Amino acid sequence: MSLKRGIMEPGAKLDVDRGAPAERELFVTFLTIGLSAFGGALPWAHRVLVEREGWLSAEEFNETLALCQSLPGPNVVNLSVVVGARFAGPRGAVSALLGLVGAPVAIVLVLATLYARFGEIGQVPGAITALGAAASGLVWATAAKMAQPLVARRPVSSTATIALAFIAIVWLKLALPAVLLALTPIGMAIVWLGAKGARAP
C-alpha cells in the first residue's frame, strides 16, 4: 500500500500511520524506476518516490541523496538500498536493489551488443548524441526540483551554496569530493549561525 498517491508539496510530511511499502511493492516500484530511467535513474527516482508514491518528502529525498552521495558507489543504487532498508529492513534493501538494477543490466547488455554491431550505421551516432542532450535536460530539471525546498527554507544561504558548488564543478572543474569537503563545513557553519541567531533574545 502506498503511503500517498499524487503530488506532494515541498516539505510535506508523510502519514506514517498508513503503513510502509512491503518488499514486493519496493521491488516493483524500483523496477519501474529502473525501466523508466533515461540517461540516469535519479530524475525518475525523484518523480516516483516524491511525487507519485509520496514515500519521501522533497526535503527527505534531498537529505537521503546527500547521504548516498557521501558513500561509495552509484548514488541511485545507494538510494535504493537506503529507502528499501528504511521501510522493510534488509529484505527491503535487497528487493529495492534487485528491482532497480536487474532489468536495466539485462537491457544494457543487449543494447551494448547491438551498438557494437550497428553503432556506426546511418543516423545512429546522431541519435545517440540527441539522447545525451535529452538526458542532460532531465538532470537539470531534477536539480531544479531538488533545489526548491532548500531555497524556500533558506533562500540566501542555500542559493549561495548552490552557486558556489556550480561554479566549482562546472567552471573550475574541481572534483566532487573536494567540493563536498570544502562546502560541507561552510554549510554547517551557516546553519549553526542561523540557529544560534534564531535562539538569541
- pLDDT tens string 154-188: 777 778 888 888 888 888 888 878 888 888 888 77
Residue 49 DSSP symbol:
I
User: For residue 119, which phi and psi values (nearest 5 degrees)?
Assistant: -65, -25
How many domains does one find in the chain? 2
Query: 83 with 39, same domain?
Result: yes
14: number of Cβ within 10 Å:
15
Query: 142 with 183, same domain?
Result: no
Query: 5 with 93, same domain?
Result: yes
Query: 160 with 135, same domain?
Result: no
Residue 55's domain comprises: 1-146
| Grid coordinates given for 99 | 528491482
Write down the pLDDT at residue 13: 42
Count the helices and strands in the chain (H runs, E runs): 7, 0
Query: 127 with 34, same domain?
Result: yes
Query: 8 with 67, same domain?
Result: yes
pTM of the model: 0.58
Query: 30 with 109, same domain?
Result: yes
d(CA 48, CA 121): 36
Closest CA to 61 of 71, 70, 48: 48
More confident residue, 45 or 124: 45
